[in-house]
Amino acid sequence: MANTIKHILFVCTGNICRSPFAEGLLKKLVQKKGVDDIVADSAGLLALPGNSATGLAQKVAAEYDVDLSGHIAKSVREAIVDRSDLILVMEKAHGESLLDAFPEADGKVFLIRHFAGFGSRNRGIADPYGLNYEAYRFCFLDIQDCVSRLAEYVLQGKGFI
């Protein structure tokens, strides 16, 4: 385990809505601070590699200056799990599935809401896939709350949770 958190992986189901939101937000926040040694990545447990972020995900993200137009979905793989210092999942079931497949990730998998500033830290982030614009916007703002606090934490150079 690294002393500081430098590589963060966000995991959801299809890697086309929630985890790209989180990845894009963290990249934007660390870039804004001029930091280039913190890496944000995302993947899906059931991703169809090559898919883009959904149109509504791209639209909502763009409204907050996060560009998902070049996002390409990918599946969770051993190499990406191994190089990640911290893996943040959107739902408890994601964490369970991830640890079933990659038991070596034990100790670095947390619910993204661990970093939430409001509401329960034990609930998941609702999947907006197939829903309307407002569901995507609510999801984005929920993730933004968590990622903003995560960015503060890692930018302070803090070690593991």
Domain boundaries, the chain: 7-155
Q: Provide φ and ψ at 32, rounded to 5°.
A: -60, -30
Q: How many helices (H) and strands (E) does the chain have?
A: 5, 4
Specify whether 121 is catalytic.
Answer: no
Please determine, for residue 158, whether its predicted confidence score (pLDDT) is greater than 90.
no
Closest CA to 89 of 139, 25, 138, 18: 18
Q: Is the pLDDT of residue 159 over 60?
A: no
**Mean pLDDT over all residues of the chain?**
94
Q: How many CB atoms lie within 10 A of CB 32?
A: 10
Q: Mean pLDDT throughout 2-17? A: 90
Per-residue pLDDT at 2: 44
pLDDT band at 160 (very low <50, low <70, confident <90, very high): low
- For the cut 80, the answer to whether the pLDDT of residue 161 exceeds it is no
Given a cut of 60, is residue 57 above it in pLDDT? yes
Marked catalytic residue, from 12, 17, 139, 146: 12
> Considering 37, 67, 100, 127, which one is annotated as catalytic?
127
3-state secondary structure of 25: helix
- The reported pTM is 0.95
Please write the tens of the pLDDT for every residue from 103-133: 999 999 999 999 999 889 999 999 999 999 9
CATH code that applies to domain 7-155: 3.40.50.2300
Is 17 one of the catalytic residues?
no
pLDDT band at 56 (very low <50, low <70, confident <90, very high): very high
What pLDDT is attached to residue 9?
Answer: 98
Is residue 139 flagged as an active site residue? no
pLDDT band at 157 (very low <50, low <70, confident <90, very high): confident
Q: Of these residues, 17, 18, 41, 113, which one is catalytic? A: 18
Q: So what's the pLDDT on residue 1?
A: 38
Residues 91-100: tens digit of each pLDDT: 999 999 999 9
